[in-house]
Amino acid sequence: MGFLSNKISRDEVKPGDHIYSWRQAYVYAHHGIYVGDGQVNHFTRGDGQETGTGTFLDKIIVSSSNHGDNPCPNCGDRSQVGGVISSCLDCFLAGGDLYVFEYSVSPAIFLAKPRGGVCTIASSDPPEEVIYRANFLLQNGFGVYNVFKNNCEDFAIYCKTGLLVANTDVGRSGQAASMVAAASVVLSSPLRFVAGFGSLAVAGYGMYCVGRLVSDIGMRWDVSKVPVERLVTDMNDLVGMESKPEDEKMESKPEDKKTS
């Protein structure tokens, strides 16, 4: 693994590692937790779990589950499977290269990486805790997949750190943060008044880097350590609430009472 690339060989991967592989000509990466014995736990889009984004991304972002045409002899037909699943390393990579996500990097190293979703300033927990979370969520789920709010990178980062961001469905990945940072550069009104293409490029890249840095889970102030058992309980309660009719939702909310 080098400074500019997190690529590793299969012999280097260790249980508890957060790994990823690029998809669709490096448009995005698929993330998971290597739990040992050639198996990877990862969070996918699939039938019954896919929520969609309402954008063109729905046409290019797919899970790495095997389709029924040529099922893996180890994993079987995964064309109808979604949520947190366990796959062999070959199925997870889907023909791509193997990369390891870095933790406890310095801000300088973080900013030196031109793309989000490859490292974080946050520290990783011990491998046994990481594997426990990944296997617990394999059995109990990680909510409904959403490419911007609850995706495969969110799953892997939570397994590694136990950290969740407040006021979101579950978390916020580096890839999603990069998209937001890039969009803010494009839409930012101050850049329209910068003279010269070179100055515009420098200012734009600076805003992009700052946006990525402040959104990193290792830098945010609105994160907390959440036990995996509590996470699953809270998600189940939320799903139960959302499945109720609107009148029952209103009845379950405490009414404000005025005191005289």
Given the structure tokens 């249980």, which residue do they identify? 15
Q: What is the pTM of this model?
A: 0.77
Note whether residue 249 is domain-resident. no
Asked if residues 123 and 218 have their Cβ atoms less than 8 Å apart, the reply is yes
Catalytic residue numbers, as ranges: 30, 42, 152
pLDDT of residue 190: 55
Note whether residue 136 is domain-resident. yes
Note whether residue 138 is domain-resident. yes
DSSP 12: G
What per-residue string of b and e applies to 29-64 under the rule 16 or more CB within 10 Å gives b? bbbbbbbeeebbbbbbbbeebbeeeeeeeeeebbbb
Note whether residue 259 is domain-resident. no
Q: What Å distances lie between residue 32 and 3, 135, 167, 254, CA to CA?
A: 21, 12, 24, 40
Task: Name the amino acid, one letter, at 135.
Answer: N
Range of the domain at 160: 17-235
Q: What Å distances lie between residue 185 and 40, 105, 189, 194, CA to CA?
A: 36, 25, 9, 13
Residues 6+ apart with CB under 8 A from 54: none
Note whether residue 252 is domain-resident. no
Note whether residue 243 is domain-resident. no
Which secondary-structure segment (H or E) carries 22?
A: strand 18-23
pLDDT of residue 221: 87
CA neighbours within 13 Å on the CB side: how many for 251?
5
Note whether residue 3 is domain-resident. no
Number of domains forming the structure of the chain: 1
Note whether residue 43 is domain-resident. yes
Per-residue model confidence as pLDDT tens for the chain (260 residues): 555 679 999 999 999 999 999 887 777 889 999 999 999 999 987 653 334 555 555 555 555 555 556 788 888 877 667 889 999 999 999 889 999 999 999 999 988 887 778 999 999 999 999 999 999 999 999 988 887 788 899 999 999 999 998 765 445 555 555 444 444 444 454 555 555 555 555 555 556 677 778 888 888 888 999 999 999 998 888 777 766 666 655 565 554 444 44
